[in-house]
Amino acid sequence: MNHLLNLLSAEAITALAGVATGLGVSGVISWLLGRYDKRHPAVDVDKLVQRVEELNSQIDLSTLADKLDDLNNAVIELAYLRIRERHENAMRHGWLHPNEKHVLERLYAAYHSIGGNGTGTQMIEEIRNLPSMPPGGDPTSRMCDETWEPPEHHQ
């Protein structure tokens, strides 16, 4: 009989331990899920869609497109003016430093990609064909001095 009580006790203890473990694990899981829900509330997709539609109705896309076109045209003009200015200066001096050529190549690429055309292309081709150092000059010199003249004009 003692043996039977010991067996029942062992079975009862095992069953109680299983229940306690089950309750403990489910309790921990419930607690974790509750914390997750507080930090990550459910998203109401319908409300989000409604808000996006409200915002879209407030935006006048035709006005925005016109403004972007105007801005694009202004950037084309500014890039053209800078290329023309550097082109005129380089042609007057007969050379252009490689770093300045590189900057103009990047400016021309942007100018061309947004719709700049023929005249800028002609100028960049002429700039590409210029020497990269002054005639008979120092290869490390820069064209910072706008009053520089070729050596044959000096007295």
pTM of the predicted model, to two decimals?
0.53
Strand positions, DSSP E, the chain: none
Hunting for tokens 């042609």 — which residue is that?
Answer: 91
Report the candidate in 77, 153, 155 with the shortest Cα–Cα distance to residue 111: 77
Domain ranges, ordered by start, for the chain: 61-135
**Could you tell me if 131 and 150 are in contact, meaning their C-beta atoms sit under 8 angstroms apart?**
no
**Could you tell me if 134 and 141 are in contact, meaning their C-beta atoms sit under 8 angstroms apart?**
yes
CA angle 113, 114, 118 (to 5 degrees): 75
CA atoms of 101 and 89, how far apart (whole Å): 12
**Could you tell me if 104 and 83 are in contact, meaning their C-beta atoms sit under 8 angstroms apart?**
yes
Per residue in 17-73, pLDDT tens? Answer: 555 555 566 666 666 667 766 776 777 778 888 888 888 787 777 788 888 999 999
Per residue in 83-130, pLDDT tens? Answer: 999 999 999 999 999 999 999 999 999 999 999 887 889 999 999 999
